[in-house]
Structure 1
C-alpha cells in the first residue's frame, strides 16, 4: 500500500493487528472485530509456566504457552461484562499469537495498533519491531493517553513516520465514543483522513484532532477538573459525598461525578497522568496546578487505589443485608457509612430541566451558600483553564467541547457550559474576583458577541479567529435539536413531536419522561398517521433521548389496576393496540430507528414498521414478564406472525411447515424477558426480521432511516394487507405448557412465573384452537388483551410493578 493507495475509502482497511492484549489492546481488537475486520492479537511470550500449565506437562516451547496472553484475552471476550463484542461468536474473527512466532502477520495488516504499557521506552522498542515486519504503506497507530507521538516515532524511517499517528481510544473501546487522533509533523494528511474515516464510519466513533501535547484534550481538561475539585473540596470543607453530589448530574456530568470516577480510573493512574503533564510542561503556573495532591499520595501509599484494591474514596463491604458502601472521612482517613446529601441548592438543580438549567439553578442560588461557592469555584477554574488551552491542545473550542462530551460524558463541554451560565455576566464576575480571563475571550466580548455558539440558519456556528465559523457536522447525522431550532416542528405535544426531516419525510420523536409510552404518545401516533398519510412520503420513528423507549407508562397501569378500574385498563390496552395497527396499516412507509434501551412497548412501537434500522447499542426485548405481564400492544401477535413466517420460509414457501421450533424460540425469549446486548444480538434472540438491519454508527441511524423511507417510496410502496396468521393451536400450546411445568418442578421459576408463562404460551399458540388454523390479527390482539387484564388483577403482578417502579429492578415472587 502506498500513500496514493490511501485515497481509498475506509472499506479498504480489512485486516488489522493489535500489539498488546491488556485491557485496552483486547478492547480495541474486539471492536475492530465488531467492525468486520480480521484481527491478529499479539503479545509477548511468557517467561514462566503457570501451575495449570505445569500440571498439563506443557513447556515454554508449546504454542499454547507461547500464545497464552493473547489467547486468554480472546477467550474472555465472549464472557466480559460489559460485553466487548456485539456478538460473542465474533471472537472467531480474532487470531491470537505472540510477537516472536507470528511477527510476519504484521506484513499482512492494513492497520497496526500498538497498545502496550504506557512507557515511552517500551513503546519505542515495540514500534521498532513493528517497522521490521510491516509492509510499506500500512498504517501504524499507537494507543496512548498522553505520551508524545513525536518522541515515539524518533528513530523510525521517514516512510514509517508518514504512516504513523495516535489513535487514543477511551475505555471501554466499544462503548466510549471518543477517539483522539494526533498527528506528528511527519504524518501524511492522507493518513489522518483515512484514520478519521475508519474510526467514524467503520467503528462508529466521534473523532477530534488533538495536538501532540501532554494528555491531549479530554484527559488534560478532565484531570485539571479533578484536581481543582479535590483542592476545593478541602478548601470549602466538603465531605466526599458532598463533592460528588455537586459535581455529578447537578453539573450535567455522569453519576460517577468526581471521586467515584477517580476510584474507577485508579488513584495511581491519576497521579501518573498528573506527572506526565507537569513533567512535560514548561509553564510554571501549570506545573504548580499539576502538582501531586498530598491526599492522593497518602491514599496511594496506603494501597488505597480505588476499585482495583477495593478501597479509595469509597469502599464496598459486606453487611448483614448485603453489600454496603462506605465513604472516606477526610479528617481521619477512616471509612464510615455513606451519608445522604441534601440542600436547597442541590434540590433546585435536581428539579431544573436539562444540563444548562441544572447548572444555572446551582449557581443561581444564594451566593453565600457553601455549596454554591464550591460549585462556582470549580466551574470557573475549569472554564478559564479550557479557554487558555484553545490553540494549544486543539485548534478549535468545538473540538474541546466534543472531547469532553464524548470522552468524559459531560452533557455540555466547557464552552457550551459557559454559554449556559451567561458568558458576559460570568466573565464580569470572574474579573471582579480578580481572575485572569484569556485575552481572546475578552476581545470576543468587546466585539459585541454574547456567546461562543449560536444558530445561524439551521447550522450551529462557534467562535473562531474573531468570527463565527460553521461547526463541522458529524458525517451522516441529522440533529433533531437543530431542526426544531430552525422551525421544522410540524406539531408538538407533551409526549411527542412530529418534525420535518426534509424531502417530504417526517419524524415522530418521543420526549416523555424516559420516553415511556402513555396516552400522549399514543395520541401523537394517531395524529401523525393521519398527517403523514395526507402530506408526506413516509415516517421515521426515532429520537435523540438517552434511550429510545423504556416501555409503557407502568405507573398509570398500576394505579388503574390497584383501583380496580378494569374498563380503563382495557381502554388503555385497546388504544395502544389500535395505535400500533395504524402505524402498520399506514399507506406510507414507516421505518423505526431505535437506540439503547428499547424495551416492552418500545419494541411494540418498532415492530409495525416496514423496516427497523438498529444502532449497534440497542438493547431490545419484550420484557413484560419481568413486571408480571405479557406484551399486549401487539407484541405477542407480531411474535406469532414471525413464527409463522419463519416456518413458511423453512419449508421453501410450502404451507404446513413446522411452527413449533420457531415458536419455542420466541416463547423462551419473551417468557425469560430476554433483551439483546447489542443491535446485532436482536437476531440471536429471535426478534429480528429479514428486512431489518444494523448500522455501525448510532448517530447515523436517523439519516439511514430517512434513506430507507425514500427507497421504499421510490419502489412504489403499498402497505401490507391484513394477514391471516397460522398458529400452533392447542397442541403447540401444550408443548409450551410442558416446558413451563418442567421449569416449575425443577425450581427454576416461581408459581407466579409459571402462571405468566402459561398465559403467554397460550396467546402465542393462538389459544384453544385447531393446530395450523389461520387466525386474524385482531383475534390474537383479543387474546393478548384478555391475558394482560387477568394478570393485572393478580396481587403478585401488582407487587412486581410496584417494585420495578420503586427500585428499577425486577422482583421474583
Structure 2
C-alpha cells in the first residue's frame, strides 16, 4: 500500500464518530462501506411496510439512518450533500466479509476493550495482508486491543484518533502499537495529511494519548482551582477563553458541550490505566462533576451542566450559571477584573497572556496557577506521550483549538522568568527543562535562517515542513519580500511565481492593498512568470473597508466614494489583463470584495473550508468591484456554451432565453447574500467554476496555487482578450424585478430590500438595453458603480452598514 492507493474504506460503527469519519472519507473522494449491528426488532414503520427482520432495509437500518442524518446535520459533516452517495450502508452479519475489498478498515464502536478485541478477532477472519486496520479510540491501549491477533495483522494495525466533529477538527492522532510496521505508519500519516487534509501527530500508546491527556489534566486543574479558591463559573470561563488564547467556550462551557459523563470516562481511563500513584491522584474525578453526573446534569445534551438554559420573565432565553456551593443555578454575573480588561485590549495571544498574568488581581492569580501546572505537566510528560514538544504543541492547537501549545505558551510568557517564579513558589522543574535553561537557552523555539527550530533532546532541531507546505512568514524572514506596504506584500515563491499577500486589519481591502495589486501586476509583467493571491490570515478577506465607506457616505463625500470604487474596479481590471497566469487561493471567509479579488484569476484553488460569497446586499449595497460584471459575463459565456447562441448577438430571442436562467441564478445567489458552506459548495452555488479546484489540506493551498500557475505556463498560457459580451438587458431586468416584487408582496423582503434588488437586477442585466446587446466590461463596471453610489446615499443603507460594524450581523430594515 502507498498513500495514494486507499481506494475504498470500511467504517464499522455508525454513531456520531463513525458516521463523521465515513462522511469525511466521502468528502475526500473515497467510497466507503458503513457497517453497524443488525437491529433486534422491527420499528412500527417497518411493521406497517410489511418488512421482515431479514429484509435488507431492516438489517441495514442503523447505517442507512446515519447516512440520511448526515445530509441534514448542522454543522454539516459533508462538504456537499451529494457526497453521501459515496457511502453504502451495510451490517456486521451480512457484510463483514466485504472488508477484503477495502484498503482501510476503521473500527469505531463502543469504547470498551473487550468489545474491540472481539470485533478485531472477527475482522481478522476476512482480513487479507496489506489491509490497514485502525481503531478510532480516544484512549484505549492499541497493544491491549491487538492481543491475540497474528503478527501479520498487528503489523497493519494502529490507532487513528479523529477528533469530533471530524470534518472541522484538524487533529488526527496516529498511534502505532509495538508490532505496527513503522513504514506503514509514515505512509498513513502522509495519506491522512494529503488526502484527508488532517494535521497528524504521532502519539505513544499511553492512556488518552497526547491531546486528551494534556487537555483533560488542564480541565481538572481548572476544577480544582474552582473548588479550592471559590472561583465562579463566570470567572473561570472569562480567564480560560480568548484571554488565554483558548476558544470562546473556555473550560466549563466546553465541558458542557463534551458531556460531563464523557469527561468523567476520560478521566477514569487515565486513573485506571496508569501505574503511577501520583498520576492516579491527579486524575481523580472532582466532586462537582460526580454530583452533576449523578443527578443527570450532563451538560448541553440534558439541558443542564455547569450552565442551564432557562426562560426569563418575558419569555426570553436566559443562561444561568451553577453555584458549586449549593449545586443550584443563579443568574450569571460578569466578572470585573483589570487583568481581563488589559488582556482584552492587547493584540495577539502572547500580549494577551502577558497582560493577563501581569494584572496582580484575582483573575491574574487564577491564570498563573492554571498555566503553571499545565506547563509543568506537559514538560513532565515529554517522552512518555510524545517524542517532541512540537507534537504536543500541534496536538493542543489542532485538537483543543488553543492558539498556542504549552511550550509555545511558555515561550510567550517568558521561559526563564516564569521558570524562576515557579521555582520560587516551590515547584520542581522537569530535569530536561532545568538542563535546557542551564545551557543558556531562553526559549523552546527559535527562528534561524528563515526556519523554525525547537528544543529536542538537549539540542536545536529544525521544524520540518512537508514539501506541499509554503510558509509566507518564513519566506519573508529569508528576505523573500519584493515590495511591501501597510496592507499587502509581494513575496517571491520561487520558480518565477510571486504571491500577493494581504495583511491589513482583518484583511479588509483598502488603498494599500489596491496599490499593491497595481504594483504587483507591473512587477510580474516585467520580471516574473505568474501571480498567486493568498495569505495566512485567519480569513482570506472579509471585504472592503466598510468603516471608511460609511464615514464618507455620512459626510456625503460622493466624489471620494466614486474614487474609491473606481480604484477598486481599475485594480481588478488590471489584474485580469495581466499577460501572465493569476491563481487565487482563498480560505475560510472570503466575502464581498474578497470574492471580487478572486474573480480576475484564471483559476481558483480553494480550501475545503472556504466560506465564499458576495454579501453586499446585507449592508444595503451591491457588488461594485466587478462582481456583477463578472457573473454577467459568466452567464453570457454559459449561454453560448449551451449551444443556443454564439453570444455574438444573433437570434435575440434565443439568446435571451439562454441567458435568462444563468443571470437569474446569479441574481438569486447575490441578492440573497448566499455564502458557501465549503469550497465544494461554492462550485454548486456558481461562485466558483467547475474548472476551479478545492485542495484537501488548507496548508497546501499556496503550493497548489503556485503549481497551478506553473501548469498554466507549461500548457501554453494565452492571455484572455477583452471581448464584448451579450447581456440580458431590459427583459432580464423586468423578469428579475418581478421575482423581487413577488417576494415583497409575500412579506419575505422589505421595501428597501426591493430597492436594492432592482439596482442589482439593473446591474446584472446590463441596464436598459435590448436583450442580446453586446457591451464592454467597462460599461458594466459603470453600471455597478452608479448603483453602488446611489445606495450609499440611502439612510437605510447607512443604518445597515452601521449595524454590521457595531453588531457584526445584518440588519433587515
Q: Which residue of 2 aligns with 1:88?
A: 81
Alignment pair present for 1:575 and 2:567: yes
User: In structure 1, which of residues 275, 281, 294 is the aligned counterpart of residue 268 of structure 2?
Assistant: 275
Distance in 2 (alpha carbons) for counterparts of 1:252 and 1:318:
32
Quote how far apart the aligned CAs of 1:595 are: 0.3
State yes or no: 1:154 paired with 2:123.
Answer: no
Corresponding residue for residue 419 of structure 2: 427
Structure 1 position 466 matched with structure 2 position 463? no
Deviation of 1:475 after TM superposition, in Å, equals 4.5
CA distance in 1, matches of 2:528, 2:304: 58
**Which residue in the other structure is 2:768 paired with?**
768
- Structure-to-structure mapping, 1:89-488, within 5 angstroms: 89-319=82-312, 320=314, 322-366=316-360, 369-488=361-480
Q: Relative to 1, partners in 2 of residues 1:739 and 1:145: Cα closer, same or farther, differing over 3 Å?
A: same
Structure 1 stretch 78-87 or stretch 323-332: which is displaced more? 323-332
**For the Cα contact (< 8 Å) 1:108–1:134, is it kept in 2?**
no
| Superposed displacement of residue 610, structure 1 | 1.7
Cross-structure match for 2:664: 664
**For 1:587 and 1:347, how far apart are their aligned partners in 2?**
51
Q: Secondary structure at the match of 1:331?
A: coil
SS at match of 1:683: helix
Contact 1:356 1:417 in 2 (8 A): yes
Alpha carbons 1:142, 1:166 under 8 Å: kept: yes
Contact 1:306/1:312, CA 8 A, preserved across alignment: yes
Q: Does structure 1 retain, via aligned residues, the 8 Å contact 2:628–2:763?
A: yes
Deviates more, 1:56-65 or 1:801-810: 56-65
- Alignment equivalent of 1:74, drawn from 55, 59, 67: 67
1:463-542 matches, cutoff 5 A: 463-542=455-534
Structure 1 unaligned blocks of 5 or more: 1-5
CA shift at 1:435, angstroms? 0.3
Q: Which digits, 9 at most, give the CA deviation of each residue in 1:433-489, with x for residues without a partner? A: 110100011111111222111112122111112111112214510112222233322
Q: Alpha carbon RMSD of aligned pairs, Å?
A: 1.6
Match of 1:561 in 2: 553
CA-CA distance at 1:321 after TM superposition: 6.1
* Number of residue-to-residue matches in the alignment: 804
> What secondary structure sits across from 1:506 in the alignment?
strand
Deviates more, 1:694-703 or 1:715-724: 715-724
Relative to structure 1, the CA distance from residue 533 to residue 252 in structure 2 (aligned partners, 3 Å threshold; closer, same or farther) is: same
Contact 1:236 1:370 in 2 (8 A): no
Question: Separation in 2 of the partners of 1:254 and 1:725?
Answer: 49
State the alpha-carbon separation in 2 of the partners of residues 93 and 133 from structure 1.
23
Q: TM-score normalised to the size of structure 1?
A: 0.96
Residues 183 and 192 of structure 1 are in contact (CA less than 8 Å); yes or no, is this contact kept in structure 2? Answer: yes
Q: Secondary structure at the match of 1:78?
A: helix
Tell me the CA shift for residue 654 of structure 1.
3.1
SS of residue in 2 equivalent to 1:597 = strand
Task: Give the match's secondary structure for 2:770.
Answer: coil
CA apart distance, 1:719: 3.3
Q: Secondary structure at the match of 1:64?
A: helix
Which stretch shows the higher mean deviation, 206-215 or 446-455?
A: 446-455
CA–CA separation in structure 2 for the residues paired with 1:801 and 1:686 = 26
SS at match of 2:94: coil
Shift of 1:524: 2.4
3-state secondary structure, aligned to 1:315: strand
3-state SS of 1:102 partner: helix
| Range moving further from structure 2, 530-539 or 703-712 | 530-539
Comparing 786-795 with 277-286, which one deviates more in the overlay? Answer: 786-795
* Residue in 2 that maps onto 1:3: none
2:407 is paired with a residue whose SS is helix
Displacement of 1:690 in angstroms is: 4.4
State the 1:84 CA deviation. 0.8
Q: Structure 1 residue 502: deviation in Å?
A: 2.3
Q: CA deviation at 1:716?
A: 4.9
Match of 1:743 in 2: 743
Per-residue deviation, 1:642:
0.7
Residues 620 and 676 in structure 1, CA contact (< 8 A), matched pair in contact too? yes
1:387-442 C-alpha deviation (Å, 9 max, x unpaired)? 01111000111101110111111111111111111111111111111101000111
Deviations 1:342-391 (A, max 9, x none): 3221121122221111111212233xx11111111110111100001111
Q: 2:93 is paired with a residue of what secondary structure?
A: coil
Q: Distance in 2 between matches of 1:632 and 1:572?
A: 10
SS in 2 for 1:238: coil
Aligned counterparts of 2:751 and 2:514: Cα–Cα separation in 1: 34
What's the offset of the Cα at 1:749? 2.2
Question: In the alignment, is the contact (CA less than 8 A) between 2:683 and 2:690 conserved in 1?
Answer: no
Q: What CA distance in whole angstroms lies between the structure 2 residues aligned with 1:485 and 1:309?
A: 51
The answer (yes or no) to whether the contact 1:111–1:140 under 8 Å persists in 2 is yes
Distance 2:468 2:62 in 1: 39
1:552-601 deviation line (CA, Å, top 9, x unaligned) = 12222222222222222222211211121121122332211000111111
Report if aligned partners of 1:233, 1:374 keep a CA contact under 8 Å in 2: no
Q: 1:82 to 1:665 in 2, by over 3 A?
A: same
- Structure 1 pair 59/807, CA: closer, same or farther in 2 (3 Å)? farther
Alignment match, 2:632: 640
TM-aligned CA deviation for residue 718 of structure 1:
4.6
Deviations 1:773-812 (A, max 9, x none): 1111111111101111122222222222222222222222
What is the TM-score normalised by the length of structure 2?
A: 0.96
In 2 relative to 1, CA 409–21 (structure 1 residues): closer, same or farther, beyond 3 Å? same
Paired with 1:538 and 1:675, the residues of 2 have a C-alpha distance of 29
Instruction: Please name the residue that 2:802 is paired with.
Output: 802
Q: 1:677 matched to which residue of 2?
A: 677
| Residue segments in structure 2 that go unaligned for 5+ positions in a row | none
Deviates more, 1:386-395 or 1:519-528: 519-528
Q: Secondary structure at the match of 1:41?
A: strand
